[in-house]
Amino acid sequence: MAAPPPLPRSCDTFVALPPAAAGARVVFGKNSDRPAEEVQEVLCLPAAAHPPGAPLQCTYIQVEQVEKTYAVVLSRPAWLWGAEMGANEHGVCIGNEAVWGREEIGDEEALLGMDLVRLGLERADTAEKALTVIVDLLEKYGQGGNCMESHMAFTYHNSFLIADRKEAWVLETSGKYWAAEKVEGGVRNISNQLSITTKIDREHPELREYAKSKGWWDGEKEFDFAATYSYVNTARMTTSRGRYCEGYKLLNKHKGSITSEIMMEILRDKESGINMEGGFMTTGSMVSVLPQDPSLPCIHFFTGTPDPERSVFKPFIFVPNITPLFKTSSPTFGHDDPVKKQPRFQTKPDRRHELYKKHESAAVVMETTKEKGKKMLAQMRKLEKQKISEMESILQNRCLDINQAVNLFSQCVEEELKVSRTSITSLRLALLD
């Protein structure tokens, strides 16, 4: 059998549960690796009621809306409906990855994996319920369509890491077929390969029979999902030099003491390739802290900008009447958006939000003058550490101020913008001298 073609590598999602995570908390993290010029926005959508059976327009197709959707915070490529990663008001977090295998990827437009992320968050109050939402939608509508804002086709199947305060689930798909693994403790990560082997806790009812019909499994040896549905040598997954293995090593290096800061360090790691550079790069990052005590708030950190090494992880907490996240929300183009027209992607509008634009200018400072760049980065890290400390105080002292929480993310964005403006002004003055 011929070897499979080399595939694009992008994205990593991680989770640490007690006892691997410090304290009685679940820590979730994801880097979204996408085309380098793509803008990722952070937005919050409130809970809502909908007419029964109302149509819901996703990126390419319509699905049937449910009567109630939960409040969500999303980090998403600005051109599409779904999201690369996000959380909901009940502490459910989801991230997805591109995966390829033996099953061919169809050309028809259906639900993107990113649409399934958002749908799962909007419709489920636990991780396992989100899994059920996703697989039911997958069965009814299928997955497919171009995953890049371009004439070039970039299509894939999807895997998902879904977490809540108590447990996590890995869901991996191949067309309409899928397998799921429950994670109740320790660490788990997913990257751009199927990784569920023989521990399968839920599966598509025809998963094994389909594999037999294709000649991928003889029906006698132990069923290994990753080995059967892809070209992965599952015996070497955690010892090879691939991204999945590197992420596995980093999680295990910190096992027993994983905090939000440790997860941020992992997402910033460039040597492993997890913080990706080049034509595909890390365009957005997320870290969530999910206390197992339901009386404590879940805290979600988002960058909203490329390269977590040069970005600030800004905290978000679900409370009523959150201030709209205007400065991390991209412009909208309504029916004139080239994504909504046929043929699609004839033009590419400017989707940069205010924070993204300032981040671009700040990157110039860092690359132009090392001294000023280091000073600027130090100020950004100081801001981030201050926010992490404030969030830890909320969890330790049970002292959430609702009036401050409504502005929490927006205020941190303003402070990050201030750091950038000051450094950019300083550089301009220095150049004039």
Active site residues: 11
- Integer CA distances (angstroms), 342 to 35, 60, 335, 337, in order: 22, 11, 11, 11
Dist CA 143 CA 137 (whole Å) = 9
In 107-128, which positions are buried (b, 16+ CB within 10 angstroms) versus exposed (e)?
eeebbbbbbbbbbbbbbbebbb
Structure tokens, 107: 């050309």
Bin 214: left if φ > 0, else alpha if -120 < ψ < 50, else beta.
Answer: alpha
Dist CA 164 CA 392 (whole Å) = 19
Structure tokens, 125: 């109050």
**Mapped to the 3 state alphabet, what secondary structure does the chain carry?**
CCCCCCCCCCCEEEEEECCCECCCEEEEEEEEEEECCCCEEEEEECCEECCCCCEEECCCCEEECCCEECCEEEEEECCCCCCCEEEECCCCEEEEEEECCCCCCCCCCCECHHHHHHHHHHHCCCHHHHHHHHHHHHHHHCECCCCCCCCCCCCCEEEEEEECCCCEEEEEEECCEEEEEEECCEEEEEECECCCCCCCCEECCCHHHHHHHCCCCCCCCCCCHHHHHCCCCHHHCCCCCCHHHHHHHHHHHCCCCECHHHHHHHHCCCCCCCCCCCCEEEEEEEEEEEECCCCCCCEEEECCCCCHHHCCCEEECCCCCCCCCHHHCCCCCHHHCCCCCCCCCCCCCCCCCHHHHHHHHHHHHHHHCHHHHHHHHHHHHHHHHHHHHHHHHHHHHCCCCHHHHCCHHHHHHHHHHHHHHHHHHHHHHHHHC
- Give, rounded to a whole angstrom, the gap between the first and last alpha carbons of the chain: 66
